[in-house]
Amino acid sequence: MTDIFNLAGKTFNSRLIIGTGKYRSHQEMQAAHTASGAEMVTVAVNRVPLDRKTESFLDYLDEKMQILPNTAGCYDAEHAIRTARLAREALETDWIKLEVIGDKVTLLPDNEQTLEAAKILVKEGFIVLPYFSDDLIMAKKLLDIGCPAVMPLAAPIGSGMGVQNPANLKIMREQLPNATIIVDAGVGVPSDAAIAMELGADAILMNTAIAEANDAAQMATAMNLAVQAGRLAYLSGRMPKRLYASASSPIEGAIK
Amino acid sequence: MKVFINGETKEIPQEVNLTELLKYLFLPDERIAIELNKVVVRKKDWENIKINNADKIEIIHFVGGG
């Protein structure tokens, strides 16, 4: 079946967005990217080292990939805005994954600063994809100010704990039926990705779960399949949960 | 004169513009961006903007991230 993912005027065949961090080699990253089927990858903005020659990391990315720079490492709106502006200048893209972290231990997002930064960046013409806590009210505020999608976390960044609060994601999906919801951070295994998609997420963004797998490319394949499986399940409509059994075979006519 | 580049103090020649600064630092001029005193400088303006003593400059590129 055709199931195109539309985001901010672009179309994607894959609902998996993956990162470029933590891979043991560029070759391993490239193999994982290919296996994932993803068409969009995140990259981080960082100071150029002045003490040594560096090669361009971007040369290792498939040219067909949409590059989504992030504002990782920013702890307030001002730094995130400056980082987004630098990324736009260097990459000539208006797309930005807005990430304003509130705490170094948990890397949980600072929703208040995220909203403040998003307001300014949207006004400046950025396509702002904000990472935030899985909170319905915050999602509404981010959508109201012009973000084309919201990116609630499943669990803390790099934790691999999976969807910690499925009720919040389900409520967000039900209350915002037309919003684009991308679950970002916290996926550990394919079943986590499938659960998020079954709950109605439109896409998943992940990095560590693939990059830290012993076989990153194989895990990328597994994640690709899981995202597709979860999506198909969501579109198919799950059976109702019942407290008691419901026989699959006819009871009448069984021999006595 | 002294300037601050990516948090480091650097001694650079007088009257240097941003394009010349990149050459002086042996940095590429593609897929990077420069911020001068917290304001991004468009690439087309690099040649016209001279650096002053005590300027704070950020030069960024891209690395792996999630």
Q: Is B40 on the interface with A (CB under 8 A)?
A: yes
| pLDDT for the residue numbered A1 | 65
Instruction: Give the model confidence (pLDDT) of A170-184 as tens digits.
Output: 999 999 999 999 999
In the numeric block, which tokens belong to residue A255?
Answer: 């021999």
Q: Is A172 left (phi over 0), alpha (psi -120 to 50) or beta?
A: alpha
CATH code of the domain containing A199? 3.20.20.70
Is A250 among the domain residues? no
Provide the pLDDT confidence category of residue A138 given band limits of 50, 70 and 90. very high
Is A112 among the domain residues? yes
- What is the ipTM score, two decimals? 0.95
Question: What's the distance, CA B46 to chain centroid?
Answer: 9
Q: How many CB atoms lie within 10 A of CB B28?
A: 13
Is A20 among the domain residues? yes
Is A102 among the domain residues? yes
In order along its 66 residues, chain B shows pLDDT tens digits of 999 999 999 999 988 999 999 999 999 989 999 999 999 999 999 999 999 999 999 999 999 999
Provide the pLDDT confidence category of residue A2 given band limits of 50, 70 and 90. confident
Q: What is the dihedral of CA A113, A116, A117, A121, to 10 degrees?
A: 170
Is A222 among the domain residues? yes
- Name the minimum distance, in Å, from the CA of A38 to any CA of chain B: 14
Is A241 among the domain residues? no
Residue A46 and residue B61: Cβ atoms within 8 Å? yes
Total domains, chain A: 1
Active-site positions of A?
A: 97
Would you say residue A52 has pLDDT above 90? Answer: no
Q: Tell me what percent of the residues of chain A surpass a pLDDT of 90.
A: 94
Is A179 among the domain residues? yes
Per domain, the residue ranges of chain B are: 2-60
Is A242 among the domain residues? no
Whether the CB-CB separation of B31 and B62 falls below 8 Å is answered with yes
Beta bridge partners of B8: B5
Can you identify the CATH homologous superfamily of domain B2-60? Answer: Beta-grasp domain (3.10.20.30)
Instruction: Give the model confidence (pLDDT) of A73-97 as tens digits.
Output: 999 999 999 999 999 999 999 999 9
**Residues of B in Cβ contact (< 8 Å) with A58:** 31, 62
Residue-number span of the structural domain to which A164 is assigned: 5-49+56-236
